[in-house]
Structure 1
Amino acid sequence: MPANTTASSPKKKKGRRARLLVIVLVLALVAGVGYGTWWSISTVRASFPQTTGTIKLEGLKGQVEVKRDNYGIPQIYADSDEDLFRAQGFVQAQDRFWEMDVRRHMTAGRLSEMFGSGQVETDSFLRTLGWRRVAQQEYDTKLSPATKKYLQAYADGVNAYLKGREGRDLSVEYAALEFENDYKPEKWTPVDSVAWLKAMAWDLRGNMQEEIDRSLLTSRLSEKQIKDLYPAYPYDRNKPIVAEGGVNPVTGKFDPDAKPSDISGNSGSSRGGNSNSAQGAAQGLNSQLAALSETLDTIPALLGPSGNGIGSNSWVVSGRYTTTNKPMLANDPHLAPQLPSLWYQMGLHCRSVSASCQYDVAGYTFSGMPGVIIGHNQDIAWGFTNLGADVTDLYLEKLTGDSYQVGSEERRLTTREEVIKVAGGSDRKITVRSTEHGPLVSDRSDELENVGQKAPVSNSAPDRGAGYGVALQWTALQAGRSMDAVFALNRAKDFATFRAAAKNFEVPSQNLVYADAKGQIGYQAPGKIPVRAEGDGTTPAPGWNPKYKWKGYIPFDELPYELDPERGYIVAANQAVTDAKKYPHLITKDYGYGTRSQRINDLIELKIQGGGKISTEDMRTMQMDNSSEIAKLLTPYLLKIDISDPYVREAQKLLEGWRYTQDPDSGAAAYFNVVWRNVLKLAFGNKLPKELRVEDECLNVRPADSTAPDDELTKRVRECGQRDTDSAQPDGGDRWFEVVRRILKDEKNEWWHSPASRTDAATVTRDQLLARAMEDARWELTAELGKDATSWSWGRLHQLTLKNQTLGTEGPGFLQFVLNRGPWNLSGGEGAVNATGWNAAGDYSVIWVPSMRMVVNVGDWDKSRWINLTGASGHAYSAHYTDQTDKWADGELLDWAYGAEAVQARTVDTLKLTP
């Protein structure tokens, strides 16, 4: 952790003057008059990048050209690797430095230096995890000399941009921040770039929240009921990514062509041992685990809402089935909506590829990191989706003073001191304690400081009079080589070099789909995935029992992959990687349930079986498919319900003839999704432990008199307020599709029982509960969209608002007006291929999205298409702030130029960087 920062105490300015200056800025931006107009426009424009002419850039060896198209997307041309990445740092800082600066403060646990005391708890937790410390270890001990050289060149480019600039010269956010404190950005370092991979890994970490939730459920539900809520993956219905093959016991390697008789398999059931388990202790720690869950919710979810259906789509089709006779590859990662988008489109081109200049690559990058994360070079294309591997375990640790118990031993805790600097306040000091498993995350919650004191004695746990702690073991807290892998992917020329690059992509674990210009398609599951001697990672483990230690990691040679499968396509959309019965290692028991992936499989098969060839437009259309799988399953049952209330019957009629599509103007989609949310709450919500349940008075707002006036009903519904979208109450994702599917034919299943309300009798059968959900949905929509059911539309409920991730969410209302955009009425929904996700524990607003979309025409690269959620620029009021969003919302794609001639044809601005 850096010992010194450039942050200092706030300027001693009068608060009134500061407020007046902010008001002048905002009024000028909105009204555009007088002296304020000149001041505010000059403030905004001062940070806009120079995109034409010539700039001298210190450290360059030769001239670099930056060509931008009419969307501001840059393509960089250079004659050496270092010049290429130095220019990349400079250009990304031009467009996105505020975003980069906030990210590095977040990953280092230093947000309080920018935003004050409100970020101390977040910083404390992130310091406890130690992302920045691990990134420093990676840089010092793991990364190759070439990678370090590129990282330094990138940092030099960023710093060349920062030189001589501060405050309003960097962005309007800094101009606003200057009114509150004396913060000045410090120089960029290579470790700032490496640390961002830890933030990626955090939001894609797997099933930590599920571990907590399952433990909390034991206080109220039986083992059978918990099993009902976490059903096994439906391998018989939803295909895994890798359909065939397994680990050959003779070679010890994964063989995608191996026959069932030649491979070893294991269902994972042997890893569920309960000897001296933590279950007894966990049952006594419900309030403490709930506190940990709340602590996790305070950590910024930069990539998506943790534990709530985050996923992605990717697939690749062989040239046998495409109109170009070459492979096509599609990818759309589903992440949290942000402004600017998490992604930055860019091309990095060596004018002549050689040993001294090795890159000719284009695609999606992260601002703050050199290289391209997803995209293609002149030989191969690749895409990412979250593999979902279980790479975290929570351990309950028996603590006595400054020691913890392992077997019969007492071992001393490792400790370190961290100082958090606070803008406008005094420094805060914390002590981070760790066991052999990892940091004690329980130390960051007041409720967890004496964790275990109230826990009852259990035969399965040691005496807990001295208390427990909760430690986190996570693969990302070990130094690795993922940054090496990024550059190796950018240079890869064939499947062998692609796999060699993937071998070092240890964290976060991702599904990698592949295609090359020679016509091959493939898949690789990389990542550092633990092997557990005992336990299956689904609930917290007993730290005092040595049997529950990780005993290593799945060897890369044993991780699943495919090359040119006979079926002619590969789909990787967060479903199971391979059949657990055919595979000897446990990757996770918490895969996505395959709703999206199977829909993509079905769409591809439908086209192939019809004898047609798949085009770029077909791939785009598949990405926008908004069909609802749960609607197909549930709607026939809803239509059979005999509804006597004419107002509810009017709503029910919307479902007649509906084809289960979720278009923004669809009244049927609006009604069904509100019914679905009410089904979940009635069937499951009231049965969950209070630690998981959000009390929702909105379920019982329906007046006894169905003719109640709109204004009264609207008031009663809206008084309920906004629900917590990160709640562990049923979120409506495809796990819940599977839960309901398995009980739907059992009309008297206990889950259909719901208690009486002020206006309704208790339900004891499926049809009674469905009828009540339909009534509640009718009145909820009456309040939200009006009495006339024919005027309802899904898009009016299902809206996307893009928010600046800092001052756009936490800043004053007028500043949010300046920085934020929207709303947009969207199609799609939960579990759909067009995954505009919403959380049924909250409302219907969009909380994760296809953060970008691309369709790559492999080998005919200039016919590829792409789109970003927002735009290239992070500067509010830039022409490229959200200039792609309307097209993104409509499902359109932009032309993606790659070759020199195509790029030149679309160039509208050229900037020359000279030594």
Structure 2
Amino acid sequence: MKTEPITWEGKTRFFHKKRVKVITGIIVALAVLIVTGLVFAQWFISKSLPDLDGAVVRAPVSAEVEVIRDDRGVAQIKAGKMEDLFFTQGYVMAQDRLFQMDMTRRLAGGRLAEVVGEAALDSDKFFRTYGMHRSADGLIAEFNSETAAMVEAFASGVTAYINKAFENNEQPLEFRILDYIPEPWTAEDTAIAVKYMGYTLTGNFRQELENYQLVKMFGEEAVHLFPEYHINDDFPVIDGESGGSARKNQIDPALSAYLNSFQTNEPVFKAEGFNKITAFAPDEWNGSNNWAISGEYTDSGYPLIADDPHLGLAIPSVWYQTHLELEDDFHSIGVTVPGIPGVVLGHNGHVSWGVTSLSADYEDIFLEQVNPENPNEYLFDGEWEEAELIEEEIYIDGKDRPYIHRVELTRNGPVMNKVTEDGPYQAFSLRWSGMEPGEELNGILRVNRSTDANEFMNGLDGFVTPGLSWVFADTDGNIGFRGQALIPVRPQSDGRFPVPGWDPDYQWDGFIPAEDLPEIMNPDSGYIVTANNKPAGEDYGYNIGRSFYPYRAVRLTEIIEEQLASGSPFTLEDMGKMQSDFKNTQARDLLPLLVEAVETWDPSSHPAESLEGEELDPLSETELETLELLNDWDFIERTDSPEALVWQLWYSSLPQHLFDRYLDIELSNSLTIHRVITEAAQHENSLLFGFLEEDWHIPFPKAARETFYEAVEMAKDLQGNQPGSWAWGERHQLEFDHPLGSVWPLQLLFNLGSWETGGSGATPGAMGYDTETGITNHAAGWRFIGDLSSVNGFFDVMVPGQSGQWRSPHYDDQIDTWVEGGYYPMIYDKAERNDMNRVVFIPEEAGTE
């Protein structure tokens, strides 16, 4: 054998043949050990994967239950008895998602530190204070007998899998790494999963704290930062359909005086404390698209429907694909949330449905006055009231004794400022309507059983959280919309600012009555679009909220109207193209104004003394070339678009330039601030920039030009000096992170990426991203389109895959199809299933396997 040279410190050396033999032997032995170890590890880990074909599972079922998994690992479960169906759903779901289910109940219940240690203590303190685990009992109390049986059977199925997996040493890899055994699943865990899903779509908490910070610094004048404005009138789902008188979004005199009363020109928060207390607040950018088109305008003559909820991207997906058939009862296919039984979104052969966030305002911050002589008493209506004190024991991995966390409950809710030691100076409590008892799980059974649009809409009654815009269609040709939520009625405020918890006039006056919630059936237009736009127009009689984002709805409506005008009927292919549309109507509205400001800004025309003598740097060749590209852009955010890159860098820098440098808290990703900038750019007489120019001397054209310079420099740093070669997709990449993937080397094992993506949070093909890294972190993790003409006329795709188990072939097998805008058939009819994997659950007493 010829000896090859090895280079070492610049010199070529040849080893003696004997030494080479020894080293070669060691290398071969190590290679054999490594290969053997990898093979053993793969075999060991693969033991946790479910048997996919031919297996017989003895279980506490009353009769045979058939489980057929398709080529994506999606299980169709067919049973003759409801308890058997949901027992098997729980068992199968746990096979695929047990670690995710356990993490969700621990996170929402404030019990993460038990398994991951002190790093999770702040999280546990926040969620123990927030109290989803306390509200679970109220949800359980609303269960009817069938729902109770469903949830108990589901929990028994999850627990049966836990027992089997750990008794046979077949547990998922994550439990081996963290070295713990999960507890049995309970009805309370499912209730907490429902509440947590509602919590993730409740995004007002952080906004109110930001607004309070601004008001604390500027008093009543801060109201000018939030003027009365309507971007495309927020593009209401229902306009002029509801009747009633509009409530003007004005600050009443009493609230105005109140806001002015606590101006101190000092921050309310230490910056670190603000970041800590809002780190666990829901992301206000969570959203979705859905729409339905009447069969009058489709090629099949039946309604078409589409849904693509936009939530955080992670491993595994927030959604779980499921297919349930209960003989002589219902047959549904779609997705649910891990930990929740039934089919939450999808179709049942009669009705199809999807959701977006209603984006209403469900929570309020109540400022509290503390008794200086008794810190456990809070003022209300001139009297000191004692708060309820709860001592939460938080067990921490590696600690002998639990951490005792004191939670105080006022009439307005839990006191939140004590979550962290360096939290806000001002005491405040938080009230969320999602803590109220609701019928969400009763409703899941009702909608799965519905046979037409009216039954479906009635099935939504009693849903409290999350607040959702439901769009639905049935085989009779109906299409409809219902905004379902528990929305507070506020007599003295509009929900934008914290209010005095001691004043009875600011208490909620109940909730918008169920019969007054916005809804519509078969509109004259022949279509319905909801995409986090305003649910109802200005004639609606209640204040729903102000966190609406209409740009995706604007674009989807444009596409529909253009095709209606052309006379071409809609097809499922059209629906799929709409879900991947990357045209940005926000950029179309704002970018020309920014470009004009750059090209025409003259500091000598501005009266501010601070600008006297200021001269503009001439635009460089790169900047001029960039402006030329932007002037010719079609506003489609393709992966190879240089214009999209510049636009996103430019727009994302404006909030920091205008606000963050003057405040102790970061507002750069605030939905409120983005809306204010939009309004200001569109209206020269905006109160915002009148206020800013007077107090901070930042005329908008100056800000536009300075941030344009910054955007071009960032683009050059990222991708070189040739604007024509810049590409949005190089910056805007798709990655999937596992909960354990932040630890090296586990990220090499669990995490996935990367893929170039187009679009942004403002495009129908929604791809929200981290402005610091460009990484896509919010998108449509599940896309769904359907034609009501056939039970097999539905298609979906979900990323990254059905299984949360590393080494499963279904861990990441849907990503490429999703990135390419493709879909898979949702096989509903048994006659369409070929060569699929079959497992049978049989009664334990049915003899030997």
Aligned to 2:582: 626
Q: Is the 8 A contact 1:83 1:153 kept in 2?
A: yes
- Following superposition, the deviation at residue 595 of structure 1 comes to 1.1
- Percent sequence identity over aligned pairs: 28
Corresponding position: 1:211 with 2:145 = no
* Partner SS for 1:389: coil
Q: Is the 8 A contact 2:300 2:789 kept in 1?
A: no
- Following superposition, the deviation at residue 241 of structure 1 comes to 0.8
Q: Residues 464-479 of structure 1 correspond to what in structure 2 (within 5 A)?
A: 469-479=427-437
Q: Distance in 1 between matches of 2:718 and 2:770?
A: 17
**Letter of the structure 2 residue corresponding to residue 886 of structure 1:** D
- Following superposition, the deviation at residue 311 of structure 1 comes to 1.0
- Following superposition, the deviation at residue 894 of structure 1 comes to 1.3
- Following superposition, the deviation at residue 219 of structure 1 comes to 4.0
* Partner SS for 2:754: strand
Larger Rg: 2
Q: Distance in 2 between matches of 1:278 and 1:170?
A: 56
Q: Residues 100-179 of structure 1 correspond to what in structure 2 (within 5 A)?
A: 100-139=101-140, 141-166=141-166, 169-178=170-179
Aligned to 2:784: 854
Aligned to 1:361: 332
Q: Residues 369-384 of structure 1 correspond to what in structure 2 (within 5 A)?
A: 369-384=340-355
- Following superposition, the deviation at residue 31 of structure 1 comes to 11
- With over 3 angstroms needed to count, the CA separation of the structure-2 counterparts of 1:630 and 1:264, relative to structure 1, is closer
Aligned to 1:585: 542
* Partner SS for 2:165: coil
* Partner SS for 1:149: helix
TM-score, structure 1 as length reference: 0.82
Q: Residues 891-902 of structure 1 correspond to what in structure 2 (within 5 A)?
A: 891-902=821-832
**Letter of the structure 2 residue corresponding to residue 630 of structure 1:** Q
Corresponding position: 1:832 with 2:813 = no
- Following superposition, the deviation at residue 72 of structure 1 comes to 1.1
- Following superposition, the deviation at residue 229 of structure 1 comes to 4.5
Q: Is the 8 A contact 2:48 2:170 kept in 1?
A: yes
TM-score, structure 2 as length reference: 0.88
* Partner SS for 1:67: strand
- Following superposition, the deviation at residue 508 of structure 1 comes to 1.5
- With over 3 angstroms needed to count, the CA separation of the structure-2 counterparts of 1:110 and 1:648, relative to structure 1, is same
Q: 1:195 aligns with which of 187, 192, 215?
A: 192
Aligned to 1:673: 648
- Deviations 1:199-220 (CA, angstroms, capped at 9, x unpaired): 1121211422111111111244
Q: Is the 8 A contact 2:310 2:780 kept in 1?
A: yes
Q: Is the 8 A contact 1:734 1:831 kept in 2?
A: no
Aligned to 1:346: 322
- With over 3 angstroms needed to count, the CA separation of the structure-2 counterparts of 1:271 and 1:380, relative to structure 1, is farther
Mean Cα deviation higher: 608-617 or 852-861: 852-861
Q: Is the 8 A contact 1:316 1:515 kept in 2?
A: yes
- With over 3 angstroms needed to count, the CA separation of the structure-2 counterparts of 1:279 and 1:823, relative to structure 1, is farther
- Following superposition, the deviation at residue 619 of structure 1 comes to 0.8
Q: Distance in 1 between matches of 2:754 and 2:253?
A: 47
**Letter of the structure 2 residue corresponding to residue 202 of structure 1:** Y
Aligned to 1:910: 838
Q: Distance in 1 between matches of 2:560 and 2:64?
A: 46
Q: Distance in 2 between matches of 1:775 and 1:234?
A: 27
Q: Distance in 2 between matches of 1:332 and 1:283?
A: 45
Aligned to 2:479: 521
Aligned to 1:331: 307
Q: Structure 2: where are the runs of 5+ without partners?
A: 1-28, 600-617, 844-849
- With over 3 angstroms needed to count, the CA separation of the structure-2 counterparts of 1:578 and 1:667, relative to structure 1, is same
**Letter of the structure 1 residue corresponding to residue 825 of structure 2:** D
- With over 3 angstroms needed to count, the CA separation of the structure-2 counterparts of 1:366 and 1:508, relative to structure 1, is same
Q: Distance in 1 between matches of 2:543 and 2:67?
A: 47
**Letter of the structure 1 residue corresponding to residue 411 of structure 2:** E
Q: Is the 8 A contact 1:733 1:831 kept in 2?
A: no
**Letter of the structure 1 residue corresponding to residue 407 of structure 2:** V
- With over 3 angstroms needed to count, the CA separation of the structure-2 counterparts of 1:282 and 1:100, relative to structure 1, is farther
Aligned to 1:807: 740
Q: Residues 305-324 of structure 1 correspond to what in structure 2 (within 5 A)?
A: 306-307=283-284, 309-324=285-300
Aligned to 2:237: 241
**Letter of the structure 1 residue corresponding to residue 317 of structure 2:** S
- Deviations 1:675-729 (CA, angstroms, capped at 9, x unpaired): 2233443344434x22235xxxxxxxxxxxxxxxxxxxxxxxxxxxxxxxxx556
Q: Is the 8 A contact 2:351 2:472 kept in 1?
A: yes
- Following superposition, the deviation at residue 656 of structure 1 comes to 4.5
- Following superposition, the deviation at residue 754 of structure 1 comes to 12
Q: 2:370 aligns with which of 385, 389, 399?
A: 399
Q: Distance in 2 between matches of 1:172 and 1:765?
A: 54
- Following superposition, the deviation at residue 48 of structure 1 comes to 0.9
* Partner SS for 2:813: coil
Aligned to 1:49: 50
Q: Residues 632-647 of structure 1 correspond to what in structure 2 (within 5 A)?
A: 632-637=588-593, 641=598, 644-647=619-622
Q: Distance in 2 between matches of 1:342 and 1:746?
A: 41
Aligned to 1:610: 566
Aligned to 2:816: 886
Q: Distance in 1 between matches of 2:700 and 2:675?
A: 23
* Partner SS for 1:381: strand
- Deviations 1:263-304 (CA, angstroms, capped at 9, x unpaired): 4443354877428746634768843486664234332x7xxx
**Letter of the structure 2 residue corresponding to residue 164 of structure 1:** K
Q: Is the 8 A contact 1:216 1:283 kept in 2?
A: no
Q: Residues 564-575 of structure 1 correspond to what in structure 2 (within 5 A)?
A: 564-575=522-533
Q: 1:438 aligns with which of 406, 409, 413?
A: 413
Q: Distance in 2 between matches of 1:271 and 1:585?
A: 16
Q: Is the 8 A contact 2:225 2:688 kept in 1?
A: no
- Following superposition, the deviation at residue 823 of structure 1 comes to 1.4
- With over 3 angstroms needed to count, the CA separation of the structure-2 counterparts of 1:679 and 1:397, relative to structure 1, is closer
Q: 2:728 aligns with which of 794, 804, 810?
A: 794
- Following superposition, the deviation at residue 748 of structure 1 comes to 8.9
Q: Distance in 2 between matches of 1:159 and 1:843?
A: 40
Q: Distance in 1 between matches of 2:727 and 2:249?
A: 45
Q: Is the 8 A contact 1:420 1:427 kept in 2?
A: yes
- With over 3 angstroms needed to count, the CA separation of the structure-2 counterparts of 1:439 and 1:678, relative to structure 1, is closer
- Following superposition, the deviation at residue 829 of structure 1 comes to 0.8
**Letter of the structure 1 residue corresponding to residue 377 of structure 2:** S
**Letter of the structure 1 residue corresponding to residue 725 of structure 2:** S
- Deviations 1:520-551 (CA, angstroms, capped at 9, x unpaired): 00111111111122212111111111111112
* Partner SS for 1:552: coil
Aligned to 1:776: 710
- Following superposition, the deviation at residue 434 of structure 1 comes to 0.6
* Partner SS for 1:121: helix
Q: Is the 8 A contact 2:315 2:737 kept in 1?
A: yes
Q: Is the 8 A contact 1:331 1:855 kept in 2?
A: yes
Q: 2:623 aligns with which of 645, 648, 656?
A: 648
- Deviations 1:99-132 (CA, angstroms, capped at 9, x unpaired): 1111111122110111011111111111112211
Aligned to 2:614: none
**Letter of the structure 2 residue corresponding to residue 241 of structure 1:** V
- Following superposition, the deviation at residue 479 of structure 1 comes to 2.3
Q: Is the 8 A contact 2:213 2:269 kept in 1?
A: no
- Following superposition, the deviation at residue 830 of structure 1 comes to 2.6
* Partner SS for 1:531: coil
- With over 3 angstroms needed to count, the CA separation of the structure-2 counterparts of 1:288 and 1:682, relative to structure 1, is closer
Q: Is the 8 A contact 1:754 1:764 kept in 2?
A: no
- Deviations 1:309-346 (CA, angstroms, capped at 9, x unpaired): 22110111100111111111111111011111111111
Corresponding position: 1:598 with 2:569 = no
* Partner SS for 1:808: coil
Q: Structure 1: where are the runs of 5+ without partners?
A: 1-27, 248-262, 453-468, 694-726, 756-761
Q: Is the 8 A contact 2:216 2:263 kept in 1?
A: no
